[in-house]
């Protein structure tokens, strides 16, 4: 009885908030706190999104020419081999990078989840590449992959092998970009896993030790189950991030050779900013938006389900 009343009054209090007390003040005026952000949000994000929906139904260029064409852009996309290839490349790239990032990140986190200075230093090393910009990263790796005097080429020659032109080989270009990306991005998954490992209650390990569980047994039946949710979260975050592959491909291979390393975002960029086929590019952007929205929704649900995972 009194518990029910308590719930009701708590509910009421949560709704009333303290703001209620000074309710003498006009409530519209409170919008002023939110208005500056809302203005930018609406003009620079919401409006472009919806204008994009509209624009994707047009044949449009940057110089103002525009003609309503209905879903023609989407039909064209579905028949565009380069676009289909770009979507395929994007998924292939995700397949190359995301599992590797998750597994290497987890491995590093497990190895470096200790308080020694060496571990702290190594954590710093593995995260350091993450703060570099994409242009520096690609510059570094271009001189690693370069067939003529590149680091790997020199290494191959030292072992008496022919140097390989990674970035101009259709089969190796995307994997080379993937390696570059893994090198660049490994810090984040490692840190997320480290944070999760710190959350595993110490008692669980003590209980496992009392149960005579060995190192691998403890890892398998205590540690890994405790961070399942983080694992799912890392996968989704990385999928969303790697979906947006652009700079590495643009700067290392320009999508070549023969479109073998052209991802979706680079396709949008080229159609929009070099071929000026704006409506078509925006239509491709809608497809990207849909794909990322699905991943973002998955992230939302994983983040919500606190225990189930």
Partner 1 sequence: MPGIELKNVTKTFGSVTVIDNVSLSIRPREFMVFLGPSGCGKSTLLRMIAGLESVDAGEIWIGDRRVDQLAPGERRVAMVFQHYALYPHMTVRENMSFGLRNVKLPEAEIDKRVDAAAKMLEIAHLLERKPGQISGGQRQRVAIGRAIVKEPQLFLFDEPLSNLDAALRVRTRLEIAQLHQRVEAAMIFVTHDQVEAMTLAHRIVVMNNRKIEQIGTPMEIYSRPATTFVASFVGTPAMNFSPVELSDGPNGFVSARLPDGAIVATRIDKASLPESRSFKLGIRAESLDICPVGQGQTAGVAQFVERLGDRTLVYVRLSDGTTVVAEDAGNSRVAINDKVGVKFDGGGAHLFDDQERGHHAVLEGNST
Partner 2 sequence: MTTQLSSGAVGRGLGDRVILAATIALAIVMVLPMLWAVGLSLKTNAELLVDTNSVLKAPWTLRNYYDILIGSGVFRWLLNSIIVSVGMSLGVLALSSLAGYGFARLEFPGRNVIFVLVLFGLAIPEQAVILVRHQLFSDLNLHNTYAGLMLPGMSAPFGVFLMTQYFKAIPTEVDEAAMLDNASRFKIFWRVLLPMTLPAQATLGIFTFLHAWNDYWWPLVSGTNEQMYTLTVGIASTQMNFAESAGLGYLMAQAVFAGLPILIVYMFFQKYIVRAVSGAAA
Residues 178-217 as x/- pattern, contact with partner 2 by CB under 8 A: -----x--xxx--xx--x------------------xx--
Q: Which residues pair with 67 in a beta bridge?
A: 59
Q: Which of residues 74-113 bind partner 2 (CB under 8 A)?
A: 108, 111-112
Q: Which of 2, 3, 5, 28 is the binder for partner 2 (CB under 8 A)?
A: 28
Q: Which of 6, 65, 107, 225 is the binder for partner 1 (CB under 8 A)?
A: 6
Q: Rule CB under 8 A: is residue 11 a binding residue for partner 2?
A: no
Q: Which of the listed partners (partner 1, partner 2, none) does 12 bind, with a CB threshold of 5 to 8 Å by partner kind?
A: partner 1
Stretch that binds partner 1, among 4-12, 112-120, 259-267, 273-281 (CB under 8 A): 4-12
Least distance to partner 1, CB of residue 25, Å: 9
Q: Which of 77, 177, 260, 282 is the binder for partner 2 (CB under 8 A)?
A: 282
Q: How far is CA 170 from CA 47, 128, 149, 167, in A?
A: 39, 30, 21, 8
Q: Rule CB under 8 A: is residue 1 a binding residue for partner 1?
A: yes
**Paired tokens of 212:** 């005579």
Q: Which of residues 16-35 bind partner 1 (CB under 8 A)?
A: 16, 18, 20-24
Least distance to partner 2, CB of residue 79, Å: 21
Least distance to partner 1, CB of residue 22, Å: 6
Are residues 259 and 82 in contact, defined by beta-carbon separation less than 8 angstroms?
A: yes
Stretch that binds partner 2, among 2-10, 93-101, 197-205, 240-248 (CB under 8 A): 240-248
CA trace torsion 138, 144, 146, 147 (10° rounding): -160
Q: Rule CB under 8 A: is residue 115 a binding residue for partner 2?
A: no
Residues that bind partner 1 (CB under 8 A): 1-13, 15-16, 18, 20-24
């Amino acid at each position: 009885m009194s518990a029910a009343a308590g719930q009701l009054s708590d509910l009421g209090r949560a709704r009333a908030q303290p703001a209620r007390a000074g309710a003498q003040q006009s409530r519209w005026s409170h919008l002023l706190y939110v208005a500056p952000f809302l203005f930018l949000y609406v003009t620079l994000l919401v409006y472009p999104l919806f204008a994009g929906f509209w624009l994707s139904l047009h044949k449009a260029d940057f110089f103002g020419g525009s003609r309503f064409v209905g879903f023609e852009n989407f039909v064209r996309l579905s028949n565009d081999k380069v676009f289909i290839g770009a979507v395929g490349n994007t998924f292939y790239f995700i397949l190359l990078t995301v599992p590797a990032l998750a597994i290497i990140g987890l491995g590093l986190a497990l190895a470096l989840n200790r308080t020694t200075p060496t571990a702290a230093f190594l954590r710093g090393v593995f995260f350091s590449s993450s703060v570099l910009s994409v242009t520096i990263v690609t510059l570094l790796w271009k001189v690693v992959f370069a067939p003529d005097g590149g680091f790997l080429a020199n290494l191959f020659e030292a072992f008496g092998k022919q140097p390989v032109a990674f970035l101009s080989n259709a089969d190796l270009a995307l994997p080379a970009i993937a390696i570059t990306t893994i090198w660049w991005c490994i810090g984040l998954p490692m840190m997320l896993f480290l944070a999760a490992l710190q959350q595993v209650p110490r008692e669980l390990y003590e209980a496992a030790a009392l149960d005579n569980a060995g190192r691998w047994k403890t890892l398998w039946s205590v540690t890994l189950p405790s961070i399942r949710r983080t694992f799912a979260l890392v996968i989704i975050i990385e999928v969303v991030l790697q979906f947006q592959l652009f700079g590495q491909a643009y700067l290392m291979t320009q999508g070549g050779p023969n479109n073998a390393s052209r991802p979706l975002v680079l396709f949008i960029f080229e159609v929009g900013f070099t071929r000026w086929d704006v409506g078509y590019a925006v239509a491709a952007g809608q497809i990207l938006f849909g794909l990322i929205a699905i991943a973002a929704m998955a992230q939302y649900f994983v983040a919500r389900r606190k225990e189930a995972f």
